[in-house]
Structure formats: C-alpha cells, structure tokens
Chain A
C-alpha cells in the first residue's frame, strides 16, 4: 500500500514537473503580421532636407519566456524594398545604387543576442538589447533600448479564429549612415548623417 502511494506521488510529482517545464518553455513569436501593421520608421533631419519614411515588410521571430524575459533572443528583418517615402523621385533615389541599393542589399536585420539592464513590471519589460545590426551590407555590433509588452491570450482579439499570445516590441535608436557606407561623401547639411530609427512590431505565438 505504502509502495503504491509513493509511486503515485512520484508519478504526480513527475507530471507536475513536466507541466511546469512545459509552461516555462519560451514562446516563439512570429513577426510576419497578417494585418500589415508592423512597421519601422526612419528620419534624417538635415538643415536643407528633412527626410522621413517607413517600411512595412517586417518578418522574423523572437523567443520570449514570460517567466524569464531576460532570456529573450530573436531576429527582426525588414525588407529593404519596402522602404517608402512620400516623394516618388526621392524614393527612386533612395532605392538606387547611390544610396540604399536595395536591389543588392535586400534586408535590414537586427539580431538580439542578449538583454542587459532588464526591468520587468507586470507584462512590460524594458532592457538594452545587445546584438548585431545589418544595413546596406554592413554589420555592426549595436546595443539598443527596447520595450517588450507581453499580452497573453490577446492574439484572438487581433486575428479571429486564432488562440495565443502577442508580444509587442518597440525600440528607437540612432545610427550614422557613414558607418554603414550609405553614400558617405554626401554632405550632412543635405542628407543628415544620423538616421533615427523607430521600430514598433507585434509578434504572434499561436496555441492549439
């Protein structure tokens, strides 16, 4: 009798352990947005020419553990061809070989390798994401401030007939276009060296 009770307890403990392990497993969020809301913005504010635009070709995945946000890793990709500005001639120049050369350098990528200075309050985590940033065929190590907002069970509210969670990632940072060989000889007063980048993207982790 005692042996049977012990075995049952051991089995229950093992099952509970497995369940806990399953619950603690990081979730993988897919950032290809069916609603097309995900976007990145960029602004170059030079004295003679202020340029601002956006890009909506966002893809990528992020693994996020609600129990351990500090372990977050992931990769966000922006299709260079989706870069847009409100002036058609400026857009043509921007995509051309003198500037972004999007025919050759098709992706803009940020890959987060680790998070530092992690602060979590409820479902919101702020941190510094350390990773690599690839732009115009040049990859540099970069640390950017990010906020992660975890919205459990909210996927259905956004995409009907789907159950799961949402993760919203936001970041704003500045890069110098000369560091990425984007027409470095073009003067700063016409096209600013500093590119202010803003990224606001939501990823979905569907559950059966």
Chain B
C-alpha cells in the first residue's frame, strides 16, 4: 500500500507537470475557454470571442503537486514494519 501510494504520488506530480508544460506552461490561471481575437477590417476593432478549450494554469500545477504531496504523506501512514513482519512470519513458517 505504501509503495502504491508513492507511485501514485509520483505519477500525479509527473502527469500534472507534463500536462501543464505540454499545454503551454501558462503562468496565469487555468483557462476553461480560450479567447480568440479577430480584427474587423473596416473599423480596426479587435473583437474577442471565447471558444471551448482547456489550458492548465499555475493553479492546475499547484493542485497536482499538492495532491502528490498529500498522497506521499498518506503513504507514510503505512509502516514498512508490516511488510517486514510478514516476511519474518513467512520465513519462520518456512523454517518450521
């Protein structure tokens, strides 16, 4: 269990960082719709319209790392001794 949680924590951190970096490494907040600018030829006015899309921001990266740290801390609740004890028990059984 301890090992599984540690793997999950590492995966969350790597996946979160990878997604954030891969989708533009945005330093602002996550965008759940993307602004698209177009210029009106006659007036020169720059119009802004929003299209569905996702661009993770610094809050997304923070949440991924926070999740990873939480999972890492949770893994510490499961002691290694439980594994050792099982190994000792199985060794004793084998020698008997």
Structural contact, A87 and B42, CB atoms closer than 8 A:
no
How many whole Å from A171's CB to the nearest CB in chain B? 13
Binding site for A on B (CB under 8 A): 28-35, 40, 42-50
Structural contact, A39 and B45, CB atoms closer than 8 A:
yes
- The A-B contact count (CB < 8 A) is 57
Structural contact, B29 and A49, CB atoms closer than 8 A:
yes
Check A158/B43 contact, CB under 8 A, given A54-B48, A86-B50: yes
Structural contact, A87 and B43, CB atoms closer than 8 A:
no
CB contacts (< 8 Å) of A166 on chain B: these are 42-43
CA distance A35 to B43 in the complex (A): 12
CA distance A154 to B43 in the complex (A): 9
Sampled A-B contacts (19; CB under 8 Å): A36-B47, A39-B45, A39-B47, A39-B48, A41-B48, A51-B29, A54-B35, A56-B47, A86-B33, A86-B35, A87-B29, A87-B32, A87-B33, A154-B42, A158-B43, A166-B42, A166-B43, A168-B43, A200-B45
Chain B minimum-CB-distance residue to A86: B31
